[in-house]
C-alpha cells in the first residue's frame, strides 16, 4: 500500500483558491507590473517637494497608496501561485520578481518620512485640518513621531529599501531547500505500508495512530533537514546578522528592541512571557506524564507528543469543519458567521488540500482590494478543523479591517494583534465542540487537538523565542553561529521543557529550528504566537461568560486594524498585555485541559 500526494492539477477547482480574482492570467499580471513601474516614476517626482504644503503631501500620499495597493496585489498573486507549487519555475520567477519590485517600492518612497520629519510635527498636524484627504493621518503621525529617532536620512533609507530584496536571499535560500529541494524518505507503517512525506503531509503523519508511521515520519523529516544543516545554519546566521545590522543602523539598543518597536511593544512584554512560561513548565511536565500513561508507553518520545489519544476520533470532512466553525463563532453574530461560511465554501478563499510541491504550513494572505486567501493542507480531522479555524480568524480580521478602514496605512495591522484573532477562533470553536458533544471519546479528541495547538503556540514558540533571543545576543556580542551551536542550544531548551518525561533525541530535536524557516527569519515573530494565544483565551472567556459589551468590544478591535497601536487595540477588546495576567490566565486554561484529560482517561480504567 502507498499513499501518494496528488499533483496540483489533480486537486478539484472548488478546493483551490481563486487567484484569478486578482489577475485573470499571468499576462494580466505582467501588464500590472508595467503599470506599477510607471507609478514608481510618478512617486519619484515628489522627492524634495513634500514641504510645499498640505495639497502636495496629500497628492503624494494618494499616489503612494495607489502604488502600494498595486505592488501588494502583484506580490500576493505571485506568492500565492508559488506557495502551492514551489516546483513551478515560472511561478518561482514571478515570486522572485515580485520581491524585487517590493524592494523597489520601499526604496522609491524612502524620501518621504525624512522629509516629513524635516517639516515638523506641529506643522504636519496643522495641515491635517487644511486638506480633508489628510484628516485620517493623525495616528500615522503619532507612530512616526514615536519612531523618529530611528528614521535615517533619505539616502540611508533609500539604501535600506534597496537592500531589502538582497537581504531576503537568506530566507529564500532556506525556503527553497525546505520546500523544493529536500527529499524525504517515505514513512513506513508497522504493516509495511509507505506514506509520502511532503511539507503538506508531515502534520498528518505525526498524528498517525501507527507509532511506526509517526516514528519514521518524524525521523525522516528531521534527517532530511539534518542533511542540509550546515547550509541552513549559514542562511540563518546571515538572517540574524541582517537583523543586527538593521538594529545598529537605526540606533536601537538591541535586536529585540528593534524588532518590537515596529509594533510599539515594550520589551517587558517579551520578558513577561518568557518568565511566566518558565515558571509554568511543571504543567507541561505533568501533561507529558499523563500522555505517556494514557498511551500505555514505558517511554515517551518526541514523535509521541501528538499520538492520538481518542479511541474513536471523529472524521471531519472540510465542509463539516466549516459548518462547525461557523456555528462556534455565532456568539460574534450572524453576519460574522455567514461571511466566514461564504468565504470558505463559495468564494474560494481557501486552498484546501496538500499537493506535491505545496509549501509547508498554513497562512492567511491578501491585501486591501482583494478578499482574504488561506493556504493550508487540510486533513479530515479535528487538527485540520483547528488549523482552518485559526486561518479564518486571520482572514476575518483582515476582511473586517479592509471593510472598515479607508486609509490604506490602517488596513495593515501589526503581527502582535494578528495571532489574537486566529487563536480566538480556535478557543471559541473548542468551547462549542465540548459543549455540543459530551461523549468522553469526542471530548478527549477535542482536548488532544487543543493540547497539540498549545504544544505549538505555548511550548514550541516560547522555546523558539528563547532560542531566537540567544542567537541574536550571540551575534551582537560578536560570537559565531553554526549548525552544532544552533542544534545544541535548541536541544538544551527543549530538554528543559520536556523535563524527565520525554526521551530527547538531541540531534533530531535540535534541528527543529530549520523546520520553521519562515518564522526564524521574521525577526522575533514567534513570541507573538504565545502572547496571541494568551490574549485570545482571556477575551474568549469573557465572551463565553456573557460579559456585557464584550462582543462589541471584540468586533471593534477587529475593525480597528492599524488605526491604533496594538496594545491599545487589545485594550479596546478588553485585555492589557503589558501585564503577565493574560499569560497566567491561559496557563490556567491549559492546566484545566490537563485536569479534564486525566479525568477522562482514568474513566476508561
Which residues are marked as active site?
391
Burial of 396 per CB tally in 10 Å (0-12, 13-18, 19+): buried
Q: Is the dihedral of CA 299, 300, 304, 307 positive or negative?
A: positive
Q: What angle do CA 480, 486, 492 make, to 5 degrees?
A: 125
> Nearest 5°: phi and psi at 188?
-130, 130
DSSP character string of 320-381: HHHHHHHHHTGGG-HHHHHHHHHHHHTS--EE-S--TTPPSS-EEE--BTB--EEE----SS
Quickly count: other Cβ atoms within 10 Å of residue 327's Cβ. Answer: 14
DSSP structural state of residue 502: B
Query: What's the CA gap between 10 and 20, in Å, rounded?
Result: 18
Short-list 307, 293, 287, 294, CA closest to 498: 287
Location of C-alpha cell 542540509: 228
Q: Longest C-alpha distance within the chain, in Å? A: 80
Query: What's the CA gap between 418 and 394, in Å, rounded?
Result: 6
Query: What's the CA gap between 154 and 116, in Å, rounded?
Result: 11
Contact 220, 235 (CB under 8 A): no
Contact 451, 591 (CB under 8 A): no
Dihedral angle at the C-alpha atoms of 32, 35, 37, 40, nearest 10 degrees?
-120
Query: What's the CA gap between 423 and 530, in Å, rounded?
Result: 10
> Nearest 5°: phi and psi at 455?
-60, -40
Query: What's the CA gap between 114 and 103, in Å, rounded?
Result: 18
Query: What's the CA gap between 201 and 390, in Å, rounded?
Result: 18
Query: What's the CA gap between 481 and 179, in Å, rounded?
Result: 23
Burial of 122 per CB tally in 10 Å (0-12, 13-18, 19+): exposed
Quickly count: other Cβ atoms within 10 Å of residue 605's Cβ. Answer: 4
Query: What's the CA gap between 470 and 8, in Å, rounded?
Result: 40
Local structure of 168: helix, strand or coil: coil
Quickly count: other Cβ atoms within 10 Å of residue 553's Cβ. Answer: 18
Q: What angle do CA 214, 215, 217 make, to 5 degrees?
A: 65
> Nearest 5°: phi and psi at 206?
-80, 0
Contact 141, 125 (CB under 8 A): yes
Residue 546 host element (H or E): none
Query: What's the CA gap between 328 and 454, in Å, rounded?
Result: 19
Amino acid at each position: 500500500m502507498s499513499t501518494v500526494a496528488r499533483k496540483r492539477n489533480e486537486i478539484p477547482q472548488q478546493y483551490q483558491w481563486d487567484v484569478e480574482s486578482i489577475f485573470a492570467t499571468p499576462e494580466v499580471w505582467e501588464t500590472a507590473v508595467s503599470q506599477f513601474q510607471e507609478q514608481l516614476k510618478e512617486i519619484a517626482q515628489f522627492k524634495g517637494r513634500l514641504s510645499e504644503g498640505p495639497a502636495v503631501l496629500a497628492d503624494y500620499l494618494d499616489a503612494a497608496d495607489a502604488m502600494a495597493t498595486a505592488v501588494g496585489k502583484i506580490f500576493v498573486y505571485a506568492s500565492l501561485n508559488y506557495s502551492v507549487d514551489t516546483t513551478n519555475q515560472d511561478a518561482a520567477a514571478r515570486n522572485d520578481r515580485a520581491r524585487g519590485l517590493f524592494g523597489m517600492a520601499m526604496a522609491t518612497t524612502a524620501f518621504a518620512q525624512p522629509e516629513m520629519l524635516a517639516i515638523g510635527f506641529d506643522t504636519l498636524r496643522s495641515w491635517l485640518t487644511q486638506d480633508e484627504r489628510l484628516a485620517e493621518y493623525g495616528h500615522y503621525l503619532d507612530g512616526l513621531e514615536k519612531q523618529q529617532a530611528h528614521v535615517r536620512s533619505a539616502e540611508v533609507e533609500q539604501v535600506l529599501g534597496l537592500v531589502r530584496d538582497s537581504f531576503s536571499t537568506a530566507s529564500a535560500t532556506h525556503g527553497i531547500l525546505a520546500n523544493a529541494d529536500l527529499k524525504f524518505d517515505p514513512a513506513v507503517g508497522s504493516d509495511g505500508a509507505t506514506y509520502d512525506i511532503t511539507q503538506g503531509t508531515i502534520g498528518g503523519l505525526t498524528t498517525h495512530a501507527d507509532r511506526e508511521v509517526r516514528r519514521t515520519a518524524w525521523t525522516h523529516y528531521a534527517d532530511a533537514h539534518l542533511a542540509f544543516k550546515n547550509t541552513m545554519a549559514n542562511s540563518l546566521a546571515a538572517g540574524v546578522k541582517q537583523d543586527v545590522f538593521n538594529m545598529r543602523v537605526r540606533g536601537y539598543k538591541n535586536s529585540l528592541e528593534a524588532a518590537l518597536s515596529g509594533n510599539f511593544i515594550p520589551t517587558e512584554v517579551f520578558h513577561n512571557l518568557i518568565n511566566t512560561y518558565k515558571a509554568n513548565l511543571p504543567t507541561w511536565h505533568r501533561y507529558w506524564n499523563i500522555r505517556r500513561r494514557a498511551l500505555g508507553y514505558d517511554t515517551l518520545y518526541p514523535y509521541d507528543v501528538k499520538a492520538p489519544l481518542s479511541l474513536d476520533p471523529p472524521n471531519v470532512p472540510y465542509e463539516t469543519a466549516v459548518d462547525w466553525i461557523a456555528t462556534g463563532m455565532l456568539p460574534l453574530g450572524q453576519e460574522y458567521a455567514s461571511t466566514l461560511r461564504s468565504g470558505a465554501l463559495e468564494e474560494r478563499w481557501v486552498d484546501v488540500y496538500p499537493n506535491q510541491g505545496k509549501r509547508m504550513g498554513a497562512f492567511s494572505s491578501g491585501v486591501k482590494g482583494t478578499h482574504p486567501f488561506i493556504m493550508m493542507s487540510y486533513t479530515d480531522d479535528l487538527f485540520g478543523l483547528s488549523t482552518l479555524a485559526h486561518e479564518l480568524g486571520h482572514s476575518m480580521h483582515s476582511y473586517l479591517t479592509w471593510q472598515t478602514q479607508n486609509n490604506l496605512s490602517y488596513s495593515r495591522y501589526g503581527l502582535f494583534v494578528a495571532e489574537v484573532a486566529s487563536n480566538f477562533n480556535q478557543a471559541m470553536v473548542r468551547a462549542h465542540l465540548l459543549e455540543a458533544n459530551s461523549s468522553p471519546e469526542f471530548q478527549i479528541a477535542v482536548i488532544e487537538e487543543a493540547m497539540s495547538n498549545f504544544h505549538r503556540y505555548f511550548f514550541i514558540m516560547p522555546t523558539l523565542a528563547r532560542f531566537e533571543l540567544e542567537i541574536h545576543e550571540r551575534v551582537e556580542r560578536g560570537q559565531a553561529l553554526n549548525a552544532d551551536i544552533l542544534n545544541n542550544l535548541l536541544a538544551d531548551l527543549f530538554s528543559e521543557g520536556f523535563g524527565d518525561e520525554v526521551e530527547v533525541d538531541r540531534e533530531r530535536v535540535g534541528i527543529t529550528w530549520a523546520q520553521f524557516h519562515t518564522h526564524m527569519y521574521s525577526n522575533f515573530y514567534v513570541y507573538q504566537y504565545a502572547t496571541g494565544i494568551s490574549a485570545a483565551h482571556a477575551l474568549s472567556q469573557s465572551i463565553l461568560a456573557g460579559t456585557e459589551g464584550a462582543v462589541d468590544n471584540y468586533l471593534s478591535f477587529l475593525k480597528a486594524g492599524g488605526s491604533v497601536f496594538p496594545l491599545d487595540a487589545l485594550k479596546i477588546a478588553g485585555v492589557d498585555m503589558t501585564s503577565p495576567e493574560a499569560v497566567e490566565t491561559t496557563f490556567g486554561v491549559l492546566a484545566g485541559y490537563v485536569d479534564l484529560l486525566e479525568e477522562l482517561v482514568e474513566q476508561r480504567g
